[in-house]
């Protein structure tokens, strides 16, 4: 094997290592991108969970208001019926 063939083999190995290096760098960038996307996804899940809890609180408040409103309407209807019919006049 001559010196020329060794130099040629050395050039091939150097080219392979350069290609390998560039591919490893690209994979590193891809992994960093995936990691960033996963972090953003996790943040979105946390924010979504917080919004669901807030929606539950609003639902409970609204439900209480509807219940109180229904009770007040029933009381008003009872008062209207009582004072319209005036059952105390028919006691005798």
The pLDDT assigned to 91 comes to: 66
pTM comes to 0.57
The pLDDT assigned to 6 comes to: 75
- pLDDT one digit per residue (tens) for the chain, 92 residues: 567 787 888 888 898 989 999 999 999 999 999 999 999 999 999 999 999 999 999 999 999 999 999 999 999 999 999 889 887 777 66
Q: What is the chain's length?
A: 92
Q: What six digits make up the tokens of 87?
A: 């059952």
63 alpha-carbon distance from chain centroid: 24
The pLDDT assigned to 44 comes to: 97
> b or e along 50-84 (b: 16 or more beta carbons within 10 Å of the residue's beta carbon)?
eeeeeeeeeeeeeeeeeeeeeeeeeeeeeeeeeee
């Amino acid at each position: 094997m001559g010196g020329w063939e060794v130099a040629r083999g050395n050039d091939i190995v150097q080219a392979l290592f350069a290609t390998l290096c560039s591919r490893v760098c690209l994979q590193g960038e891809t992994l960093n991108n995936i990691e960033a996307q996963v972090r953003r996804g996790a943040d979105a899940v946390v924010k979504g969970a917080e919004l669901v809890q807030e929606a539950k609180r609003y639902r409970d408040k609204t439900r209480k208001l509807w219940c109180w409103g229904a009770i007040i309407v029933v009381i008003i209807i009872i008062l209207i019926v009582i004072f319209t019919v005036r059952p105390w006049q028919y006691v005798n």
